[in-house]
Chains A and B, each alone.
Chain A
Amino acid sequence: MSMTTRSDLAGVAMTPDNIRTKKLPLGINLLVAVVAFGLAAALVYGLGIGNWVLVVALGWALYLVGLFMAASRVEGRRAARNRAWQSLIYSACVLAILPLASVVWTLVSKGWERLDANFFNTSMNNIGARDPNGGAYHAIIGTLEQVGIATLIAVPLGVLGAIYLVEYGRGKFANTVRFFVDVMTGIPSIVAGLFILAFWVLIVSPWFNNGEPRFSGFAAALALSVLMLPTIVRSTEEMLRLVPSPLREGAYALGVPQWKTILKIVVPTALPGIVTGVMLAVARAAGETAPVLLVAGGADAINMNPFGGNQSSLALFVYQQAGDASKYAPARAWTAALTLVAVVLILTIAAKMLARRNSLTR
């Protein structure tokens, strides 16, 4: 292929011929697909080197190559490259969605069995290995209380911290804070759990319990809030930075003090993004097992009080049921996992709707 130089392009008149090109007919497209998958099937089964997964993968690769070759014959190299990249991008999208769809399908199909009233209004108290009943009521209560308290702690701290970093923070101190927030993002959940175990359960909780250390849902909430905090700070910070500074100046020019500008102009403008960040943090916290196991201890019975005594959570319930010897346990684990996903989904949708209600629709 010859290089197109500038002088080749100069002075070319626009005629019906030179602005139109040949298009690959759709039929050829399908033909290429049929041939590619046929060839792949013949190769794989003929040689006996694999099953249908390899057929699909090989067929897809052959289809891409075949389409590229057919297109470059008919449409030229540029159009062929365009087709190849487009197909690759679509394939990547399908590949990315596949595991997600698979997870949802697995959860629904396996969780369906125990999706009954009994699951939602009984606990595992006095449920023996041969008892097909038993439910996650106590775990749902635990998750809601722990994540709720953790959110109540982490959201104000995180959002205010982000406001400090964006609106007030200058110089060394702000940079140090930002650095440690980044470091916190990488804390493994078990470390957060150990920190709360050492600090809260072993040192602070004895003061409230006649000198005896005590597990509690609140301790789990503290550990979860440690995990939520960096996510909330970072996402809120990014969202606040996106608010254009002319908006702030517009408010200052009306004689509005800085704190009110932040509260009434900047934060409302960034609210939908902040809510998304908070919900990501909530979802992460709701799925944590290790900290709850470490500092709330897990429980089979219903314990409504987050400030005293062992509590369970949905994630912990899944972990325990999945490892239980009873033949009825796996079904309970699947249903609990489905419930956990549903809870996070419902919370996310509710939060998004609340955030949108406040801002005007275009």
Chain B
Amino acid sequence: MAKRIEASNVTSYYGSFKAIDSISMTVEPKTITALIGPSGCGKSTFLRSINRMHEVLPGARIEGRLTIDDQNIYDPDVDVTAVRRMIGMVFQRPNPFPTMSIYENVVAGLKLNGVKKKSLLDDAAEQSLKSANLWEEVKDRLGRPGAGLSGGQQQRLCIARTIAVEPQVVLMDEPCSALDPISTLAIEDLMFKLKDRFTIIIVTHNMQQAARVSDKTGFFSIDKTGEPGRLIEYDDTQKIFSNPTQKKTEDYITGRFG
């Protein structure tokens, strides 16, 4: 049950600083969308506003509409935790809960949301770890601490934890930037597999990665430091990387700036 995401004129602020300026884009269900652009251009800010993680920081706020299957998630009567349960997020650095075992990490989302039945949790743990291509590596040591795994395994553990709560959208904020090429490949493979079930939006600094994994690509940029980030171009990945309409996009992907 993946969902369509529509952003219209999303503008976000940190205090009085405008981080992104009227971003509008539509993300189709069961696709992978890559957001690329130079550092500080607001792609992570935009990603974090899709599951209302942006507002965790003090002073941060959003203007505009962000609808998921025509429901505006910024309506005042919307329950933030419900939104976040539907829109999972994988972070730049693997962040397994240090006090929990591998098993407890995977089912943390379910358990903390009130699922108590052991058989249900066991099933969810196995399914999610299998989906995250981690089951074979950890099935004999589910009781060991999650923080004891390697970086790549930790990141797949975090992905397993995210998909265990059955979200409809998975947001990934530079999920491979702390990983070696082999672990990166493992996660890219995983993304293809997850595409059948989820809508995925990934922020990445690695343009090859964007070209490899995504169906559509959005290019963000800023005019200069202190200016808000803007969406310069948003199109099929193929088109962005072979024949972009904007000069800026072409300069960026050919390495002339950024």
Contact = CB atoms under 8 A, between A and B. Distances in A.
A250 B91 contact: yes
A295 B112 CA distance: 45
Given A265-B97, A362-B145, A249 B53 contact: yes
A254 B112 contact: yes
Contacts of A261: 112
Interface string B96-118: 01111100000011001100000
A60 B244 CA distance: 77
B158 interface: yes
B95 A250 contact: yes
A77 interface: no
Contacts of A244: 95
A284 to B, nearest CB: 28
A254 B161 CA distance: 8
B254 to A, nearest CB: 34
B156 interface: no
Contacts of A249: 53, 56, 89, 91, 95
Contacts of B97: 247, 250-251, 265, 269
A244 B96 CA distance: 11
B195 interface: no
Contact of A256 (B51, B58, B81, B86): B81
A268 interface: yes
Contacts of A264: 108, 112
A358 B109 CA distance: 19
Contacts of B148: 362
A265 B165 CA distance: 17
A147 to B, nearest CB: 28
Nearest to A171: B58
B108 A253 contact: no
Nearest to B170: A253
A260 B110 CA distance: 12
Nearest to B113: A255
A361 B148 CA distance: 10
Given A252-B53, A255-B85, A255-B109, A360 B95 contact: no
Interface in B137-188: 144-145, 147-148, 158, 161-162, 165
Contact of B158 (A250, A265, A358, A360): A250
A253 B81 contact: no
Contacts of B85: 254-255
Interface residues of A, number: 26
Contacts of B82: 255
B53 A358 contact: no
B88 interface: yes
Interface string A243-278: 010111111111111001100110011010000000
A235 to B, nearest CB: 19
B101 A360 contact: yes
Interface string B49-88: 0010100101000000000000000000000011111101
Given A254-B112, A255-B82, A255-B84, A360 B99 contact: yes
Nearest to B51: A253
A199 B258 CA distance: 67
Contacts of B100: 360
A170 B112 contact: no
B93 interface: yes
Contacts of A21: none
Contact of A254 (B56, B93, B98, B109): B109
A254 B91 contact: no
Contacts of A268: 99
B88 A253 contact: yes
Given A246-B93, A247-B95, A260-B112, A253 B162 contact: yes
A246 to B, nearest CB: 4
A253 B84 contact: yes
Interface centre among A247, A249, A254, A256 (most CB of B within 10 A): A254
Nearest to A268: B99
Contacts of B109: 254-256
Given A252-B56, A255-B165, A360 B84 contact: no
Contact of A252 (B84, B99, B161): B84
B91 A246 contact: yes
A359 interface: yes
Contacts of A360: 98-101, 144-145
Given A254-B108, A255-B86, 17 more contacts: A247-B98, A249-B56, A252-B56, A252-B81, A253-B84, A253-B88, A254-B162, A255-B113, A256-B113, A257-B81, A265-B108, A268-B99, A269-B99, A271-B99, A360-B99, A360-B100, A360-B145
5 contacts: A247-B97, A247-B98, A255-B81, A256-B108, A271-B99
